[in-house]
Amino acid sequence: MSDTEPHKHQHHDALLENKVLENGLIHRIVLPLPFPQVRQINAYIVGRKNYILIDTGIRTDDSYNLLTAYLAANNIRHIDAIYITHGHVDHFGAAQKLIRDGIADNRIFIHQKEIANINNEYDEALYGNYLKSYGIPQDILEMMRYASAFFDTMADRLGDVSFIEHGMHLAYDGGTFEIILTPGHTSGSVCFYDREKGFMLSGDTLLSRLSPNPLLDLNIDGGRRKSLVEYIASLSVLYTMNIQAVYPGHYEVIPDHKSLIKNLLTFHYKRMMRIHNILQQKPMTPYEITTNLFKTLQQMDVFLAASEVIGHLDLLEQHDMVQTFDKDGLLYYRAV
């Protein structure tokens, strides 16, 4: 990934083509999204005569009608189960509607750690405290409230869900998937790996164009997840795997996952060193580092950029390259 500011991408491109992959075993259905950073999502139908759906797109009429029109045109009359790579609205928004309309059986599978995401739960007071200690202006909270309400309109609440776990084997009509838990983008992100055929559906864990954003992510218990540290560990696991093709949650097929992962690691370690460099001047709060690194930022970008910086500070901490201290209710990082 040559771009140094992945969270600032703006794509106004046309949708990719729908495509039949793996000799007819997989249908990639490309569905539109109303987000400035990402304009489309891939839903995947897998199977020869009996079908499962992996990710659904959002539940808006445009997206839903494109999905059902594709199914009808390809004589796919019924979906036996819906699998969700992770609990972001673009990946599960239409699931309940497909069940309600009798297109899919009432069988939805997701990793248990995604429950808070699918319920769109977050504790505003808790985020408020963290943001304050990082020196981030509190008006970001209002923007998060707005974003959360906007996301709510993109998805129907899921009814009953069943859980999938790392290492589980899932037989489908034409092969077997192994569930690979790849925390990072979210804590319960999973990939679907057909070891025998050598392909993987990766959700947002591997993407051809965007660097998956590790967002500031707080647990119900009040702790903060070190999402970038987790993500890099997941990348290292995926790197060693034998994969011929990765079918991601957004944009094009990834033919060479090893070079993509190398580029991602290079990007993150370079950024980590750049922040270490900035911290040589003086100790700073995460917000000061963010404004140092990115000169002009809009509101939502502040949150995305600060989330990234916090991820890189976690990496520096993991490598014993920074220390932290509190002063006047603010958290400072010092280079060591």
Give the interface with Zn ion as residue ranges (CB under 5 A): 88, 90, 204, 249
Nearest approach, Cβ of 323 to Zn ion (angstroms)? Answer: 32
Nearer to Zn ion, 174 or 248 (CB): 248
| DSSP character string of 24-39 | TTEEEEEEE---SS--
Nearest approach, Cβ of 137 to Zn ion (angstroms)? Answer: 25
Nearer to Zn ion, 115 or 273 (CB): 115
Considering just the CA atoms, what is the radius of gyration of the chain in Å? 20
Tokens 């189960």 correspond to 81
Nearest approach, Cβ of 123 to Zn ion (angstroms)? Answer: 20
Nearest approach, Cβ of 207 to Zn ion (angstroms)? Answer: 8
Nearest approach, Cβ of 273 to Zn ion (angstroms)? Answer: 27
Q: Quote the strand ranges of the chain, DSSP E.
A: 19-21, 26-32, 40-46, 51-54, 79-83, 108-110, 162-163, 169-172, 175-181, 190-194, 199-203, 245-248, 322-327, 330-335
- Rounded CA gap, 225 and 196, in Å? 34
- Could you tell me which residues are beta bridge partners of residue 110? 163
Nearer to Zn ion, 227 or 285 (CB): 227
Nearer to Zn ion, 88 or 225 (CB): 88
Return the structure tokens found at 6. Answer: 């992945």
Nearer to Zn ion, 194 or 204 (CB): 204
Nearest approach, Cβ of 88 to Zn ion (angstroms)? Answer: 4
* Backbone φ/ψ region at 10: left (φ over 0), alpha (ψ -120 to 50), beta: beta
Residue number closest to Zn ion, CB atom = 88
8 A C-beta contact, residue 311 and residue 215: no
* Backbone φ/ψ region at 217: left (φ over 0), alpha (ψ -120 to 50), beta: beta
Nearest approach, Cβ of 53 to Zn ion (angstroms)? Answer: 15
C-alpha of 335 from chain center: 30
Residue 318, judged by CB atoms within 10 A of its CB (0-12, 13-18, 19+), counts as middle
Nearer to Zn ion, 92 or 287 (CB): 92
Nearer to Zn ion, 39 or 226 (CB): 39
- Rounded CA gap, 3 and 104, in Å? 40
